[in-house]
Amino acid sequence: MNDLLRVAPGAALLLLVGSCAADERKAPSPIAARTVDSCAALTGMALPNGRIDAAAPVAQGAMVSTGGEMPALPATSVFCRVQAVLTPVAGSSIKVEMWLPERNAWNGKLLGAGNGGFGNNIAIPALLMRGAVAKGYASVGSDMGHTATSDVKAEWALGAPERIKDFGWRANHLAAEAAKRVIAAYYTAPLAASYFHGCSDGGREALMEAQRFPDDYDAIIAGAPAIPWTRMTSAFAANHLAAFGRPESSIPNAKLKLLQNASLAQCDKADGVADGVIDDPRSCKFDPVVLQCKAGDAADCLTAPQVETARAIYRGPLGTDGKPFYHGFQPGAEAVAGTWDLWLTGPDSQHGKFATEFMRYMVHSDPNWQIANFDLARDYPLAKRLQGSNLDADNPDLRGFFARGGKLLMYHGWQDAAIPPENSIAYFERVQRANPAQARASTRLFMVPGMSHCLAGPGPNVFDALGALDSWRQGGTAPERIIATKFDNDMLGYLGFPAKPVRTRPLCAFPQVARWKGSGSTDDAANFSCVAPGR
């Protein structure tokens, strides 16, 4: 989301579905052989559901603007920028961009890039596309079928069922088909492999591709997936009401440091290294009651209602039956900028914003609907009935994807305050149960200690998921260890600008965790091993 994947203060990127009707998985029409001799000659080319409006070369170092709140960034290499509009049905208009490396620099592969939040331009996909082109990938991304003033806005969905389908599942599928058509027209060599990478809503989009259109991509990276969408946004509303339903329950952001200091004091050293990061926060049984004021209120304690709010955030919302409805959030980074302050406890709570926009424009079709009127027992079933098939992306049956050799690499930051990290573990384990033999060979999950939402946070959080996936899909062994780096500026490090590495740490394939060997620098990944939890 660009708030389920946003640039947060002092951080970098943040929020950076079901069975299929027969006509949704019909075989694509044959792809033509090469038909153009230059980038510009792609302009006007017809596509199955639209046409290319513009195609022009971009010089290395040229500033590339993609709209929205993202600043223009310099191109990492020369590429052909292709802009198309797809109109598969009345009421649908999907803007797609394809970035094509020079012919002698193309590695023969395609990367589809996921969007964030509700989408609204290609700014978020462009961050992934920019890095991919530098590595020789052709890449493609879309605006998800609509424009808006922000990716936290959903007015575009009011009375627009086809736009909701575009956002939910159609835009990325058609973008993949268009990209393959253009690649066949532009390059002499055939496409060797196609991958998709998305985080947050992009992670939901990634799983939607694997579940609904398994022929689109050979291998997929799904980071912090926003699934199942209807349950998640209902939980967002419940979290917002827990924090703001009563004025006395709200936790001032100034008090978040109390929670962080106390949780780290209790649990940071449990992994053998005092580094400000809890490697597996599930083992930290932190109860904020230790911070409760003896009487009244003060800056160095929490009132009883504030303690209950913190407990509710850690626990997650409960259903009307008293059972867990959705996962809660982990301790250890409560006061890090762009975590609880942005998503949960700040006056502009992103959970409140996303829930309000979704319920207003995709569920109740009422621009005046207020989150104070949210009722979990009533509104979640309604949301599920109306939009579950379009948006949820939580089907664990990936037999179609695995049957063609598909690989799925998932990751999630333990300090994510947007989407609960245990949500990814739950889906991963459901996939294992639904497809035991295939899933063991074809899926991996990496939980990232100290990472916030898609990037940033106190732990090492920049890593080459695409490189690991490519090596795996091309015949290498399944990844069991990926090296992550913490930079003094994570955004600059992620984008490839000069930044100072501060620490490296291995990410271990779930359920393994990284453990220091007992000697050597604790800032060097070489001094850590991946072991079973509890060892």
**pTM exceeds 0.85, yes or no:** yes
Tokens of 525: 């990944």
pLDDT at 518: 94
CB 114 within 8 A of CB 13: no
Q: How far is residue 377's CA from residue 250's CA, in Å, rounded to a whole number?
A: 23
pLDDT at 2: 42
Average pLDDT over residues 335-345: 96
Spot the catalytic one: 92, 93, 142, 200. 200
364 is catalytic: no
Which of 394, 397, 476, 395 lies closest to 438 in space, CA to CA? 397
How confident is the model over 264-283, as pLDDT tens digits? 999 999 989 999 999 999 99
Average pLDDT over residues 466-491: 97
How confident is the model over 86-144, as pLDDT tens digits? 999 999 999 999 999 999 999 999 999 999 999 999 999 999 999 999 999 999 999 99
pLDDT at 34: 63
What's at 18, amino acid-wise? G
Containing 530, the helix (H) or strand (E) segment is strand 528-531
pLDDT at 384: 98
Q: Which residues pair with 199 in a beta bridge?
A: 223
Q: How far is residue 411's CA from residue 509's CA, in Å, rounded to a whole number?
A: 9
pLDDT at 495: 93
- Work out the pLDDT band at 9, boundaries 50, 70, 90: very low
Catalogue all structural domains in the chain, each as residue range(s) with its CATH number: 31-191 (no CATH), 192-227+393-535 (3.40.50), 233-386 (no CATH)
Average pLDDT of the chain to the nearest whole number: 93
Q: How far is residue 307's CA from residue 380's CA, in Å, rounded to a whole number?
A: 27
- Work out the pLDDT band at 347, boundaries 50, 70, 90: confident
200 is catalytic: yes
pLDDT at 534: 73
How confident is the model over 218-235, as pLDDT tens digits? 999 999 999 999 999 999
Containing 203, the helix (H) or strand (E) segment is helix 201-212
pLDDT at 533: 87
Q: How far is residue 140's CA from residue 150's CA, in Å, rounded to a whole number?
A: 21
How confident is the model over 153-178, as pLDDT tens digits? 999 999 999 999 999 999 999 999 99
∠ CA 358-361-365, rounded to 5°: 130
Number of H-type helices and E-type strands within the chain: 15, 16
Spot the catalytic one: 416, 424, 442, 470. 416
Residue 22, pLDDT > 90, answer no
How confident is the model over 489-531, as pLDDT tens digits? 999 999 999 999 999 999 999 999 999 999 999 999 999 999 9
Spot the catalytic one: 142, 453, 470, 490. 453
Residue 346, pLDDT > 80, answer yes
Beta strands in 230-380 (DSSP E): none
pLDDT at 43: 97
Out of 70-79, 305-314, 452-461, which region has the weakest mean confidence (pLDDT)? 70-79
Does residue 335 come out as left (phi exceeding 0), alpha (psi in the -120 to 50 range) or beta?
alpha
How confident is the model over 420-452, as pLDDT tens digits? 999 999 999 999 999 999 999 999 999 999 999
Which of 147, 130, 131, 120 lies closest to 5 in space, CA to CA? 120
What's at 145, amino acid-wise? G
Q: How far is residue 530's CA from residue 534's CA, in Å, rounded to a whole number?
A: 12
Token pair 């973008």: residue: 175
- Work out the pLDDT band at 478, boundaries 50, 70, 90: very high
pLDDT at 15: 38
424 is catalytic: no
Q: Say what percent of the chain tops pLDDT 70.
A: 93
